[in-house]
Structure 1
């Protein structure tokens, strides 16, 4: 086997491999002999088909099959000999396939980039601190009650938290605009679902009432054609409903998996859940800042093959969120491309930090994280046993702990500034990056 490697870009390689004709022809002959023993053709008994007939009927397809296998096997062997670490599968291009001639083919592929990490001391991280107040717990319990609320139609003027069923039609400069109309739309007043000023303007309206309001789209509105423009809406209120909140009793508590005897015990469990959520949100915010810093401080060529693989994963995740009602191939690759590039770049940078600093997943922290997850279930010991008996599941925890180790390593060198915020702000800021 003869091998030559050409560097065509920072991460692309073009490998030319030559394989002796004898190796190919022997493999083709062996495969044809195997075919002759098993093939059934009209006019011939099984196993008695002349080799000349077998070769005429199957020679080309068998040679293509053998060449494909030889290219794959010799490519893998060449990578090992050349000590090359590829990123993704190559594109094969055979130059010669004729009988009696040496096989020459080209494998074009990408390699993992050489990474030179930027100055970690230039990374800025904002570490949030927050406390959960009694009012925060009250708001959370109120939200839980509203999730279980039943609706009662009322004839009075609408007020905050009421649910209105409305038709609306929007106009800019006297003309209707796309996406500015709906019929039978259910709107909770105070939810912030509509643009600023809309909900406040119709609050006080009653069922059967027609209204006209004027509002202005925000300057940073996602549709640039509407951003900053004043609009008029014609609104018809069909129905006003008032949420009927359930009582705080044992039946209500059980709907959220909490076995509490009274409201005080329920509040305590709710607060514990909020504390877990807050801790995770603060951790997510720190990790997001670390990722942003690494990405912004390091120049890196991202292999397209890895990006394509990540796009497919993102598309499959999206299909699952849609309930499996769409083929992931129907989702345009372009809408996932930037997210996929960032994910791949983040993964490569984290791997480099691990490699350069010989970081490991601390077994004690792995056990601690498993115990933390298990504590949220009714039978924690079963959850612990599940992780310990499922290597793939446990590997995910180990990967998470290793990511935490990377974050801690970067934090030790980065510029960290603490900022005290309210609970809701911390939770919102700590949404994990997709």
Structure 2
């Protein structure tokens, strides 16, 4: 077999492949044998029909069968011979395929671009500083207090943050909208998330009052259509929070004092913000490296990813009961601005994948079975799926190579971040190398000493 490659662009190549008849013959013989096993010809036993007879009865069938078999094989051989990594299915054109002559075909395909990883020594990035304020702690403790709050009936008009028990019915042209009628529903005024205009209608209503207003539905068959909403308040309730004292700390947590509870909340917030800062650091380091290299991107890959991202956004909005038009209106963003921002993110994401893949290949980063299992379990938990079902799905649909590649990229990025100098806005170096998954900072020397102390007795008993 002979092959030649023509570079159409940094991300697209055209292979021209010539396969001599000698290499075609085994596939042709196999095709004739396969057809012979499937047909009945008077005078011949099944499987013993000569090729000449098959050709008279089914002209070209064996050649077509052989072509399907050999195209894929020779295409892969040509890729390997020319050291090309395909990114999509090829566009194949058969140029010549005679009875006794060679097979000639071309294959145009998007390929992985050649990337020269820039020098990562001294790579620097900056992230925002973080601080856990008293207000942050108070907000978290108050959220905990609401879990132990009681609701008391009050004889006054409803206001923001009150709870009301209501009946609600939406109609259009005098007919009740399917699924838009509820009774005895408890709702916190100002919470939002139901029908536009409901919070404004409820403020000022007392028990026994009702109000009618016009709104638009955000889901169902009548999305965007005006409907008439009638709401009746049957109860107004005020939320009473427990006193912020040691008794509350003992009731709501494992701590004896409110001071200990506040300290624990502050520590947990610190850990969380530290992890958020670390995530921002990873993004900043990767962005700093991407600025040092020009990575050509295949348009077909970008288009496919753009469509997938756009569909994902629309699905998420639909789950939230919102249209894209409504979302853009609330964000004060035009359709063109949304598309431009989406395309920028997609280009950055695809470029980052190519760069991290190159780093992983260069550093020969591997993935063991334990890392793969842990990654798939974590992905299952993030998507709310049963881990075993998730793993089975990945295996059945051959998604394991994608999982492996995700892990390799993560490990490549971790190496970059560990070698980079990351500072916050105040000029302080951000600790990343010893950051644990729970947001605490580890002490490698102390941990090494502990491990040595644990292993020492075992070593002594071995010597005895």
Once the two structures are superposed, the pairs formed by residues 7-406 of structure 1 within 5 Å of their partners are 7-36=7-36, 38-41=37-40, 45-56=45-56, 60-115=60-115, 125-131=126-132, 133=134, 135-144=135-144, 146=146, 155-163=155-163, 188-191=188-191, 203-206=203-206, 208-210=209-211, 238-239=232-233, 240=236, 242=238, 260=254, 270-295=265-290, 298-304=293-299, 306-307=301-302, 339-352=345-358, 358=363, 399-406=409-416
Q: Distance in 2 between matches of 1:110 and 1:395?
A: 19
Structure 2 unmatched ranges of 5 or more = 171-179, 215-227, 320-338, 379-399, 429-464
Q: Distance in 2 between matches of 1:275 and 1:79?
A: 51
Structure 1 unmatched ranges of 5 or more = 170-181, 214-233, 254-259, 325-333, 374-390, 421-434
Contact 1:202/1:211 (8 A) holds in 2: no
Q: Distance in 1 between matches of 2:114 and 2:167?
A: 58
- Note the aligned Cα RMSD (angstroms): 5.5
- SS of equivalent to 2:425: strand
Give, in angstroms, the shift of residue 109 of structure 1. Answer: 1.3
Give, in angstroms, the shift of residue 94 of structure 1. Answer: 1.5
TM-score, reference length from structure 1: 0.58
Q: Distance in 2 between matches of 1:237 and 1:111?
A: 60
Give, in angstroms, the shift of residue 319 of structure 1. Answer: 11
In structure 2, what is the equivalent of residue 222 of structure 1? none
Shift of the 167–19 alpha-carbon distance from structure 1 to 2, 3 Å rule, reads same
Contact 2:2/2:17 (8 A) holds in 1: yes
Shift of the 103–360 alpha-carbon distance from structure 1 to 2, 3 Å rule, reads closer
Q: Distance in 2 between matches of 1:397 and 1:244?
A: 49
Shift of the 50–2 alpha-carbon distance from structure 1 to 2, 3 Å rule, reads closer
Give, in angstroms, the shift of residue 14 of structure 1. Answer: 0.8
Residue range with higher mean Cα deviation, 63-72 or 184-193? 184-193
Aligned length: 345
Q: Which has the higher contact order (CA 8 A, sep 6+)?
A: 1
Give, in angstroms, the shift of residue 12 of structure 1. Answer: 1.1
In structure 2, what is the equivalent of residue 418 of structure 1? 426
- SS of equivalent to 2:128: strand
Contact 1:166/1:186 (8 A) holds in 2: no
Shift of the 49–107 alpha-carbon distance from structure 1 to 2, 3 Å rule, reads same
Of the candidates 417, 430, 449, which is equivalent to residue 407 of structure 1? 417
- SS of equivalent to 1:402: helix
Contact 2:84/2:112 (8 A) holds in 1: no
Give, in angstroms, the shift of residue 18 of structure 1. Answer: 0.8
Contact 2:357/2:409 (8 A) holds in 1: no
Contact 1:118/1:297 (8 A) holds in 2: yes
Q: Distance in 2 between matches of 1:271 and 1:394?
A: 37
Q: Distance in 2 between matches of 1:399 and 1:275?
A: 28
Q: Distance in 2 between matches of 1:32 and 1:243?
A: 83
Give, in angstroms, the shift of residue 20 of structure 1. Answer: 1.0
**1:115-169 deviations in whole A, cap 9, x for unaligned?**
4668989976333222254x43342243355468787776532233234669799
Q: Distance in 1 between matches of 2:57 and 2:252?
A: 74
Q: Distance in 2 between matches of 1:287 and 1:82?
A: 35
**1:363-393 deviations in whole A, cap 9, x for unaligned?**
9xx9xx99xx9xxxxxxxxxxxxxxxxx999
